[in-house]
Amino acid sequence: MRIKIADTDVTGLLIRCTWSGSRLNVARTLEFTFIQDDRDPNIPIVNVDTGYACYGYAEVDTTQDQTTADAITIQMATMSKEEQQKMAEPIFVGNIYKVEKNRAEGTVKVTAHDHLFVLAHSKTTRKFASVTPEDITKQICSEMGVLPGNIIETKTPVSFIANRKTGYQIIMGAYNEAAKILQQQAGKDENGKDKPGPKYQPIMNGAKLDVIEKGTLIDGFTADSYINMTDSSYSESIENIVNQVMVVDSEGNAKDYIRDDDDIKKHSIFQDVYKEDKNKDTQIEAKNLLKKPEREGTIVVLGNYRVKSSYSIAIKDSLQNKVSAQFWIKSDTHTFLDGKHEMKLVLEFENIMNDEKVEKEKEDKK
């Protein structure tokens, strides 16, 4: 990866670099260490301070081994002309939030975050009445100084109160509300089960905020244990599952059951109880108590700049599945060291949207 601090290119001074992101931490982080020693006249002095702009660019490293070089050639061949042109644009645009200087080692360590960090830490208070999430997102971006990009449309008005909430909480809360409405409108499939509703995630695309449909499959990329994967591990636990919820009224009388029949057949019944609340949707609240088996995977593969959290990829790994299967990226850590680009991916077995609850205006009792 090529890195610039403001207008200064520090790529030639880099020792180590990581570029990472997570569904949970929201903002992407660029962390790098470069050589800096004012006692050595052969080492240029780089002016660096908190608040400075920082940029990261994708690059093809021709110094890598033949296997990696072949993989990169294949990667480039699968890219469209538009994607290749984007290689010249920064894939990371942010600001420096932490600087650590070490005289003994002659190094400077820099931590930078993209502009979602602003939305995740800046708070406001607003009231929204029948406003779509896409319009709410644009309003919040305008208030907090973040440029809006491609904001996915739901065309679904929502209403709620945001009291001392971060920009990110407001945006996700709005899209969560819209997602619930759209899922209810989707109805049930031929087996009587709820059809999956849309899921959304805000991400930075360079200097602009995009809101995407979460879990979109990255075309043309497969993590294959025989080609580009160097390590993998998978785990599954049913210690915390809940596959049946008893719904009771205010006096504790059973009124209904919400079940996951497939899981009950496999693991027997693990039950929780939900007490009705006239101010909440019983079906939604009870279903939220259901907990599936906890499954997670971790793989290490040759780097690809397109592979990031909130998207999904195809994986072919004999340790887990005989044929290619879709997995969702919970977090990613791209490491650039000694001319090699490697990435560690934490995987999820289903598409999960961050749940951000909102406050509704209470109705006056007459």
| pLDDT on residue 345 | 98
The chain-wide mean pLDDT, for the chain, equals 90
Task: Kindly tell me if the per-residue pLDDT of 336 is higher than 70.
Answer: yes
Proportion of the chain above pLDDT 90, given as a percent: 74
| pLDDT on residue 178 | 95
User: Which has more confidence, 284 or 133?
Assistant: 133
| pLDDT on residue 68 | 47
| pLDDT on residue 200 | 96
| pLDDT on residue 38 | 85
| pLDDT on residue 54 | 98
The whole-number average pLDDT for the span 129-152 is 97
- Paired with 210 in beta bridges are 203
The whole-number average pLDDT for the span 139-151 is 97
| pLDDT on residue 244 | 95
User: Which has more confidence, 85 or 331?
Assistant: 331
Q: What span, in angstroms and rounded, lies between the C-alpha atoms of 30 and 32?
A: 7
Q: What is the pTM of this model?
A: 0.85
Tell the burial category of 228 from Cβ atoms under 10 Å away from its Cβ (0-12, 13-18, 19+): buried
Question: Over the range 89-126, which residues count as b (16 or more CB within 10 Å of their CB) and which as e?
Answer: ebbbbbebbeeeeeeeebbbbbbbbbbbbbbbeeebee
| pLDDT on residue 206 | 94
Residues 328 and 350: beta-carbon distance below 8 Å: yes
The model's confidence at residue 193, banded by pLDDT at 50, 70 and 90, is: confident
The whole-number average pLDDT for the span 57-75 is 58
Proportion of the chain above pLDDT 70, given as a percent: 91
The whole-number average pLDDT for the span 149-177 is 96
Tens digit of pLDDT for each residue in 211-256? 999 999 999 999 999 999 999 999 999 999 999 999 999 889 999 9
